[in-house]
Amino acid sequence: MSFISILLIAFAMSTDAFAVAVGKGISAQDHRFSHALKTGLLFGVIEGITPVIGWLLGLGTSRFISEWDHWIAFTVLSLLGLRMCWAGFNEEVCEVESDTPAVVQPVWMLCLSAVATSIDALAVGVSLAFVQVNIAVAAVAIGCATTIMVTIGMLLGKKLGCVIGQRAEAVGGIVLIIIGSVILYEHLSGAA
């Protein structure tokens, strides 16, 4: 897998966390860069760990299904991409009234949000076990991209609103579908 593909996957994986960060940024009391960066780092670390866990799970099964691995990678990435597109275009747009007081979320709630947004990275990690990729590079790229995107989402939350965050998730879904299709095409064209 090329470095460009890894970067595209990394930013695609970060779009759902970005959408959550925009929503959190809308209602945040603290709009300082340091607060946004701490939130970004929390999400980035969790999002960087989950593909490694998925990769280890996939690695254990990859030798048994090596003839179908490209189809599995294509299917997993495409299904995740379709789910992200659906969420980006069909979920209700969140609204925060201006007179609603902002709520400070405890760290454990942020951790739960980070874990929830990293489930797709776990599934992508499984699919990465079926292609040639340096999982350390992929995990660091996913973690860094998520840190950047969450930090930006927190800072711009009040200005951007939830609509932009949701549309970013749909774009990430399209990228995953494209990457899954490229993996399938490269394998099938190499086998022909």
Cβ neighbours of residue 36 closer than 8 Å, sequence gap 6 or more? 25, 150, 151, 152, 154, 155
- Per-residue confidence in pLDDT tens, the chain, 192 aa: 788 989 998 998 888 788 778 777 776 666 788 888 999 999 999 999 999 999 998 888 766 766 776 787 788 778 877 887 887 777 655 554 444 444 455 787 778 878 877 878 888 888 888 888 999 999 999 999 999 999 998 888 767 665 666 676 677 778 778 877 887 887 788 755
DSSP secondary structure letter of residue 30? -
CATH number, domain at 128?
Answer: 1.20.1250
CA distance 11 to 81: 13
Residue with tokens 């599934």: 123
123: containing domain: 3-94+103-191
Beta strand spans in 81-157 (E): none
Quote the number of domains for the chain. Answer: 1
